[in-house]
Structure 1
Amino acid sequence: MTQVTHAGEPDQHTGGGLSNRLNWLRAGVLGANDGIVSVAGIVLGVAAATADRGTILTAGVAGLLAGALSMAAGEYVSVSTQRDSEKALLAKEKWELRTMPDAELRELAEIYQEKGLPPALAMEVAEALTKHDALRAHAEVELGIDPDDLTNPWQAVAASAVSFVIGALLPLLVIMLPSPIRAPLCFGAVLVALAITGAISARLGGARIARATVRTVAGGALAMAVTYGVGHLLGVTL
């Protein structure tokens, strides 16, 4: 019989469809964050080594394309694996409903009892839902899965790849400004963008916004400082 673990317990406040939308929205925010940091590190490192704008642009565009494709591939593999797991869980639930319907009915009633319903009412609800659509009732309550709205890997691919490109364009465009202080401008613009993505990511995940924002900004600043320092050393050496 399917056991409900704490990690797999469905969200009592959101349905499967909303959960999936939040998943690809989080993928988009993380993609933008990665695009900002990755390309900022590349262009700042190259800018520290050379003032040639063509070289900087080439490196930045190459990093943008490579990063976007890498993000898309990674998301596709990850989310496809999740979708396969959801299908396997649904198949198992179908088998249990077919081979042990009485035990599954009691299990569903027990879940509603745990949610606060009296035993008689819990059984009545379980019977009504089982009669209407047994698989959906068990899938949503036990697994947190909407059988008609499984995780879509292509949504995650599009969200992460597009958001990576959008995030990467910020440092790439700023570093190409005809300004003697373009590196500091790029550094500052990236920190502001990271503060925004960090706050959005924390809000979507229900974490403390201040802590998540500081962590995101500090990590990005460290990455840019290291790549700029390495680029400067290589530029002086070469």
Structure 2
Amino acid sequence: DFLIKDDISKELAQRAASEMMKTKPIETAVRVKHGFNISDKINPYHAALASFISFPIGATLPMLAILMVNRSYKVASTSFGVLLALIITGYLAARIGNNDRKKGITRNVLSGLFTMTATYLIGRLLHK
């Protein structure tokens, strides 16, 4: 349909679409539907480097919060440690991938807080 909108005959459009989908169907579908080349946006080396850096930072800050704070403040301090780790790792991942830093931080914080809250609530339910 996208090729027909560009004033190409239906037969030629179908033939062109079939030809383009033969070699790299996912890349072609993303390029046609969303208007960008997937290989320009996704870099496995950036993802690996971001993970390599994020794991120790994401684990160290909450662990320090657990180990260094009085028992009555552990949940709050751990939550703060996780939030700080999410901000730092979101920023670093966006910077490594040359992406928007605010979006990277926001995405990381929201998904991390959702995951942390769900995990905490499930733990509370199972603990009772």
1:1-238 equivalences under 5 Å are 23=45, 26-33=47-54, 164-176=55-67, 177-236=69-128
Q: Distance in 2 between matches of 1:226 and 1:8?
A: 34
State the partner residue of 1:96.
Answer: none
**1:206 aligned counterpart, secondary structure:** coil
Question: Which one has a bigger Cα radius of gyration?
Answer: 1
Pick closer, same or farther for the CA change 1:192–1:166 going to 2, 3 Å.
Answer: closer
Q: Distance in 1 between matches of 2:97 and 2:66?
A: 32
Aligned alpha-carbon RMSD (Å): 2.8
Higher RCO (CA 8 Å, separation ≥ 6 residues): 1
Q: Distance in 2 between matches of 1:214 and 1:201?
A: 12
Q: Distance in 2 between matches of 1:233 and 1:225?
A: 12
Identical aligned residues as a percent:
31
Pick closer, same or farther for the CA change 1:187–1:8 going to 2, 3 Å.
Answer: closer
Unaligned runs of 5+ in 2: 1-26, 28-36
**2:111 aligned counterpart, secondary structure:** helix
Q: Quick one: which amino acid aligns to residue 65 of structure 2?
A: V
Q: Distance in 1 between matches of 2:47 and 2:56?
A: 15
Q: Distance in 1 between matches of 2:51 and 2:111?
A: 14
Q: Quick one: which amino acid aligns to residue 220 of structure 1?
A: G
- 1:32 touches 1:168 (CA, 8 Å); kept in 2? no
**TM-score w.r.t. structure 1 length?**
0.33
**2:108 aligned counterpart, secondary structure:** helix
Q: How many residues matched?
A: 90
**1:207 aligned counterpart, secondary structure:** coil
Q: 1:194 Cα shift?
A: 0.9
Q: Deviations over 1:140-174 (max 9, x none)?
A: xxxxxxxxxxxxxxxxxxxxxxxx34532322231
